[in-house]
Amino acid sequence: MPGRARVALPDLVASDRLDGLFGGLSTRARVVMSQAPVTLTVGLVAIAAAVFSPETLSDPLFLAALLFHLVVFTACVSIPWGRLPHLAFAVIPVLDCLAIGFTREAGGPAFNVLSLMLVFPVIWLSAQLRAFMPFVATGAAVLSVFVPSITVGSPPAGDSMIRTIFLPLVMSVIAATAHLVSTTIHRQRIRLVENEYDLARTLDESVRRQGLLDAVLKAVGVGVWVVDRSGSTVLTNRAMQADRALAGLADAGAGRGHLLSADRSTPVPSAMSPAARSAK
């Protein structure tokens, strides 16, 4: 749009630079970066299990759960997400929820804390701008609770069912909060960018009008002398500068010693000089 390219916007803050860096990545790279927290956490869990609970790594179900995580990460790296529909990546955080559920179920009570990992895929899904994404995130959290239990053959019941329901409820609140914060920040940034462009356009228009005004003043045959409130010279046109007497008057600031009264002998007092009178 006219006026935008000629005005430089202020330097970006650190958060904006990070956003610009993330936004400059390819779709595949963004998916991999979003998946990184889950993958790194699973890697740390595997290392901790090898150190503190070696027998867990001999459990075929636990190894299958780790393999599930590896397959999900491989899909993030190998699939050309840029060629697929925009929300096709949503299958990855949903699979993350299932993989986390299987890892928790295979590890037994000692690994129940892995439910906290659901925060990563839930926020990933809920941070999208589509209004239905928090419901997808909540549904994925529900699947992470019931699908592994049913698959393993130990469906929750009684008190266990109550504890199981709490997790999806908490995740639904997190999903709603993350979506609200994300959409609010998005709207604020759009408004900020629009304000910046409006300001740039207004400034450019002011510069253009100033140029036109300068051209008009230079073409006027009468000397023009503009002063500020302190009496200092702000602008003189070409006619003012061409006349040596007038130019000297402007260069003197308040004009002391250059102007004479009607008797042509008495200097005009400083308070009565043109600059001082115009500044009042």
Does the residue 4 lie in any domain?
no
* Token pair belonging to 253: 């600031």
Tell me: do 139 and 264 sit in the same domain.
Answer: no
The CA distance from 256 to 260, in Å, is: 9
State the pLDDT at residue 45. Answer: 94
- Same domain as 242, residue 103: no
Residue after which a domain boundary falls, among 149, 181, 196? 196
User: 159 and 34 in one domain?
Assistant: yes
Specify the pLDDT at position 12. 47
The reply to whether 58 and 111 lie within a common domain is: yes
Give yes or no: residues 69 and 19 share one domain.
Answer: yes
Name 223's Cβ contacts closer than 8 Å, sequence gap at least 6.
Answer: 236, 237, 239, 240, 243, 246
51 with 175, same domain?
yes
pLDDT tens digit sequence for 96-117 = 999 999 999 898 888 888 999 9
Shared-domain flag, residues 42 and 143: yes
Q: Domain limits at 262?
A: 225-279
pLDDT of residue 135: 96
Rounded to whole angstroms, the Cα distance separating 249 from 267 reads: 13
- The pLDDT value recorded for residue 23 is 65
Do 144 and 181 have their domain in common?
Answer: yes
Amino acid at 104: R
**Total domains in the fold of the chain:** 2
Q: Does residue 270 form part of some domain?
A: yes
Question: How much is the pLDDT for 225?
Answer: 72
pLDDT at 216: 72
Task: Say what the pLDDT of residue 199 is.
Answer: 92
Per-residue pLDDT tens over the stretch 133-189: 999 999 999 999 889 888 877 766 555 666 678 889 999 999 999 999 999 999 998
Residue 64 within a domain: yes
Q: Within this chain, do residues 125 and 175 fall inside the same structural domain, yes or no?
A: yes
CA 269 to chain centre: 60
Indicate whether 178 and 247 sit together in one domain.
no
Residue 17's pLDDT is 60
* Mean pLDDT, contiguous 10-residue spans, the chain (280 residues): 42 54 80 95 94 90 95 96 91 96 89 92 94 95 89 66 81 95 92 91 87 73 72 72 64 55 70 66
At residue 164, the pLDDT reads: 74
